Structure 1
């Protein structure tokens, strides 16, 4: 719709809407007023007519009661009561019959009177056509009617009517009954034949032939509630109605507990209201015609500048940026015209500048595309090998797994880790390690199919998505090919490097439904292959996950063992070969968990080292062992030396020296009574760093013991470089010295060489007297093993020391 038409419509609506609202308001106000008048009139009519109805009914009640007390009627009934049945021959019969006829004529023959004896037999009436006995139709015996009653519907007459019955009582004895049968005509205008007035009884029915409010459930419910006193009902009022069509007034007849209702129609008020919309409509039409004429003039005046401006803007939108608006006026349209001209000047200048910039942007677009491709290369590729990185692997693997066109194809993820890659970095340097990773990547690329994905996961880890395979044998062949691809040495510039790889395999959907889950399970299988000797592959199995879960559970347990007092130390004595006295002992860490019970050191120590918890546990063990040793010294058990093992992880922690320095302050024990045990393999891992630490420990006064000698590098060269005080021969050699000549010679050589270097020797795992005899003959200094004692708790160890002290004293 154009603005001109909109303006016209707005002006017309502004003129007409108030009148429309006024018309509606006036009509509603008038409707309510006339409705109130009609209702009030109906209520007043119901009140008057209801009282009139009640008055006529009460007159008949009085009439019946008067007849029941008449002498002739009582005498006639008394004859029958006494067994003297004269019938028409009774001297009272004619008088009573005439009396009934006169009363019926007085009521316009709309009321008939009947006389019955005490047994209900008919005696006489004003209506000779109905001579039925009382008991033929009535369920109530005459003698049970003790007072005047109204029977709402008479079963003794064909015409629907009501009965007023009154007992004839002589000397407190009921001897007969008078019945007045009243038709609706008796009440005249109070109960008109057109049904506009009717009576509702206390059971919800209606008197006479009226249908009342039958079919009008809502009104009928209102009337019934008024009759029974619900909703705070008054004695008279009106039923709520929605229109003038039928207005019901009511009056409650308290004597009989009936409700008198009368219906009136508000036709005369509707006719008055009908003229009001016509008058208002004529007025509205006149105002509408005037408004249309005025709106045409005003809209033309105020929209002409807008149309001019619209035409100018149309020209501008088609490309004519030099167009000008010539609306000359001092109002807002003139201001708008001047601003339009100023805007077009700015747009024209900017367009010329933008045209020049467009050419430069088109040149830059190609450069941006190149930069985006480079950024994408950096985001999804490994900078060293050029392979996909983990982000790209996850993205493309997810896409393959959810590609509907692939259908039910089988997939598998290979998790690859190079064995001992750290040694290459440590011995040759990181530059050679990078060259090795590139060469390994090239060799693996030559093995995979075109639709497989190879990615570097980080460090020396790789991922391969095998997109399709038929059988597990295909996967095994591919895994073997991968493991074998690195068997040939790598020539890295002027150096040669040899590595192997461990591979874990997870198959979709058997081992996981998501990429992340498959990678996790393949990683678990890879660690299983590495723990099984490396240079191999393993398919994921659920038991592997159980092992991982076990490790995780143990890691969680280890983090709380100190707080829960689930960690403790046991002590195994070290006995001097010559004197047989206990000169020291080794403190051994033990854990008894409330959840899983006893945990072997062989199981929890690697986990503690891997998680770093060993630093906390090791510090606790050092302090606890030194505390115990100080207690022993104070108790008079002599200067005993306590040996405590230190792991690779603890040696890497710079805090270890600070812990050792704090021991005298925390425990009171001199550090000369502390011996730090380091295994061969731990010592040779970062040898220069460990040598520096050992020298610092020696400066603090500690002794140094080399544990498990003979099982590691067994290089005698480094024995000259480190200040070792004690050499501990591993139990594996001691086990064979009785049966294996070579083991006996090795043990003898180690003891002899150590003595020449002024190093004392401790033999571990001595379990029988034959081993003891051989070691004595080889001049071994100290023995440790089950032959003397198993590891003991603090109480048992003190008891052992007490026995030895008593023995040697």
Structure 2
């Protein structure tokens, strides 16, 4: 047997045995791990969805509780408790509207203290006695809300039977210190209310969720016929009882044989309702996944075997090929051909043998080959130098990707055209073109697609250029166009419009289709510049104006654009040195408690007064500070100054009050913000409870979970949190129910029209009632008139801020106001 064949067989055997062993061990470990991980996953799914169920019930309970304090319902209950002469029509209508707002709400029923139905979304049942209703008895005994206390109840409407639960709330006397029950309000809710939420629990082909009450009655099951029936499995129906007895934790997992199938279950108990959410999956399905893994491992072994055979063949060829090559070279040389070479590159004994063999032949024909080689090298160098010179000259004036002229060539061309045409005789136009959202193509599809897009764009622009002018690539996704001898600005605008129209249809980039738009700036010679650089600069300014005003458009340069750009640049310079130049200062606007008309706090407002620009409004300098990043330094300075000032007031013997500070979303999302806040409080010595941070809704909308973690950290630190401009952004109950908020500020836009717009008045009233139900203080911003103040007093707003009491004050004026009060 040859060396080549023996080596190949040895490599195959020594490689395949470890692969098979590893595959068998990996299959066993993966099977065990998969079942363990999936069982843990079922428990986590049950725990996660338990929170969602509690939120669904809490939403309904909140709705019923808010409805129970409605003035018309309160009034009807009082009258019905005193006399039989009352009209329930208005309340019937109110209850019908509430019922219709939730498709799963079957009926809304109002009872008086004697448990007689006095109003309902179904007026035909008015007058019925509810003395036997368990929910009413529970609320009478506990004076607390009742959710599903009477269990699952059938409800028949239009010959259709539905399973329901009752959510009740006692109607308490609102203007009394004692909790006197006037009546009861019950919402009968169909169990289909949970269907949309629980039907989303799906794991594989056999995994789904089941909701049971404490007696094992099915509240939800994917099989509708089982809802309302008792589940025939002692282990499953006794989970709530076992939890209440302390035998099992509130959530867990177990394996159980049920319905002729061995299954794994994850469960989570809802203690407030005595319900349990089960998530199950058949073990047979999990084991079927391991069979797929086994098949995959067999396939991998087969593929590896093929690769091992190929590798063994390649490796043996690599080691035997040099020996065969050296043998053939020696045979050729022995036949008299001295030009033969042994090309063995191995760094071993065979390589050394090959080198010595070549040196031997080289000595024989060295003189002739040296002369021939020198001649060929001279010819090759001459040709290479000529080629390199032409290539360098081309690169100096062209873009290598699109083969368009570059900016240097564009400047030479425009300069020559301007020199050859007198200023008053001809007009020209320079276009600065920038692709919109080009970075998105690079980030999502890759740079190769970005390059293809630039090449395609260059081809389209070249096709519409015409003869008089030049198209060049300025760099990145920017292009420059020079149109010579235009007749008017209208012609320049028409060409820009033509460019935009050419890109309205999508572009094919190989196997991808992308939509492209462009922002164009136009500078016309001689009105907008007399030199190439001036025209390009002004076209660039106009292009950025197109981007700032919506993109996918063109803009002709106007001198006001340059003035605006110059002013923004000056504002950045002012902001950069405002602290050192003492051009930034603070004013304080008092917060007045309506009940006592006393100053209970004040908001710190940053102001800028520059020697060069005069007073700059916050509406102008705050966005520029955020865009430039200078808001970080300014906000840090503001925090430190405000905390120092408030500590000085306390040291002066003035009763302590919290000071509010607006915090930019850029500052609060910056790493290390909490550490900065701690340092400021420690350095100034201000107790944390006398600092309140005002945060806008837009700062919280990106991630409620992240925002909740941040606000909890602030609360643990002792700092208060105020939600600013509420109602103008993404207003949601989530902010108020899930986030630790101390104060809610109603935006001035609602307060301005609160006396003239019924809609704004109702919104303000609803916000105040909702906040109070959650123990959140309410501040009304921008109160300027007596009628606004009177209406806010009527709606029980807590705190007022506005010119009706005081505008922003300098520190000494604020101190005088507090001392006089």
Give the TM-score taking structure 2 as reference length: 0.47
Q: Which has the greater radius of gyration?
A: 1
Question: Normalising to structure 1: TM-score of the pair?
Answer: 0.48
